[in-house]
Amino acid sequence: MEQSPTTRRIDGWRWSGRLFLTFLLGFTVMPMAWMFITSLKTGFAAMQYPPQWWPAEPTLENYWRLIDPSSSVGQDFLHYFWNSMWVSTLTTVLAVAVAVPAAYAFSRFRFPGRNFLFFAVLLRNMFPAVVFLVPLFILMKVLGLVNTHGSLVLTYLTFGLPLAIWLLKGFYDNIPIQLEQAARIDGATRFQAFFLIVMPLSTPGIIATSIYSFIGAWNEYIYAYTFLTKHDQMTLPVGIQRFFSENATDWPGLMAATFLMSVPVVVLFLVLQRYFVRALTEGAVKH
């Protein structure tokens, strides 16, 4: 096939681009792959030097142990998993329930103090999260919330809501106000116009916001570590520490637990991915 110089030059660019992306991919995938490979090893094989790139005798033993409710490790792991799931889900539901009306109000209504309030909402994001550790701990103590999941949900909302509101406001800003006006003229109340017309259009935004809140809560470590001291309350990131025992670290067990911990997030992404793609390709909400 003949090629013009232009296509050849474009091909050149394309190939160097692919090479770069491949490199990046390796960079991000390698640690994950190593984590997975290690989780298939026996404790002894994991410590061998030179390392085995692929275990001589791969085993799923580490996984079975974690999800076996009759073993003590399994019991704990499943308990932490459930705690994490509960805290993250509650955080996500509350974040969306608050962020949707807040973002809509910021996007659509002009009211006194609007700019100040919006700035105040974003102000939180200008400080590193750890700055609030001590004040929030004292606050939780006063409220009697230390060692409850409520303390975590409240904290995660504090951190998650500003970005959630900001993100959703962007979505609402992009939905022409005429759509709601048309709906109201067509016989809808304000609420109906919102629920029947605007909400469906902002679904990709709501899903993106949910995933963001969920992952934030799911992975959080410092606050969970500080606010919860009782074993049966702990969430996964803290609970996984169990695998560092005093004298020896169970690397394969730790890796298997970490791998399982990433499963919900990955599944969430895969299931909801099409909404992101649709939001990007369809441009349904742009004029």
Partner 1 sequence: MAEVVLKDVVKSYGSIYAVNHVSLKVEDGEFVALVGPSGCGKTTTLNLVAGLIPLTRGEIWIGDREVSGLDPKDRDIAMVFQNYALYPNKSVYKNLAFPLQMRRLGRAEIDSKVQAAAKVLDITHLLERKPRELSGGQQQRVALGRALVRDPRAFLMDEPLSNLDAKLRVQMRSEIKRFHQDMKATVIYVTHDQLEAVTMADKMAVMNGGFLQQYDSPANVFANPVNMFVASFIGSPAMSLIPLEAGSDGGTTVLRSPEGWSFALDGRNAAKVAKAKGKRVVLGARHSTVRLLPNAEPGTVPGKVYTVEPTGDVTFAQVFVSGALVNVSLPPTYAIRPDETVNVLFDQARMHLFDGETEMALTA
Q: Distance between the two ends of the chain, CA-based, in angstroms?
A: 42
Determine the 3-state secondary structure of 176 from DSSP.
Answer: coil
Q: Backbone dihedral region of 21: left (phi > 0), alpha (psi from -120 to 50 degrees) or beta?
A: alpha
Least Å from the CB of residue 193 to partner 1: 9
Phi, psi at 66, each rounded to 5°: -70, -35
Least Å from the CB of residue 92 to partner 1: 24
188 binds partner 1 (CB under 8 A): yes
Residue 183 CA to residue 198 CA, distance in Å, equals: 10
Contacting range for partner 1; rule: CB under 8 A; set: 59-67, 181-189, 208-216, 226-234? 181-189
Determine the 3-state secondary structure of 172 from DSSP.
Answer: helix
Residue 56 CA to residue 99 CA, distance in Å, equals: 51
Contacting range for partner 1; rule: CB under 8 A; set: 172-180, 213-221, 230-238, 265-273? 172-180
Chain residues 198-217 in contact with partner 1, contact rule CB under 8 A: 200-201
272 binds partner 1 (CB under 8 A): no
Determine the 3-state secondary structure of 166 from DSSP.
Answer: helix
**How many residues in the shown chain lie near partner 1 by CB under 8 A?**
21
Q: Which of 48, 75, 115, 178 binds partner 1 (CB under 8 A)?
A: 178
Q: Which of 7, 115, 181, 241 binds partner 1 (CB under 8 A)?
A: 181
113 binds partner 1 (CB under 8 A): no
Q: Are 158 and 132 in contact (CB under 8 A)?
A: yes
187 binds partner 1 (CB under 8 A): yes
Q: Which residues bind partner 1 (CB under 8 A)?
A: 176, 178-179, 181-189, 192, 197, 200-201, 282-285, 287
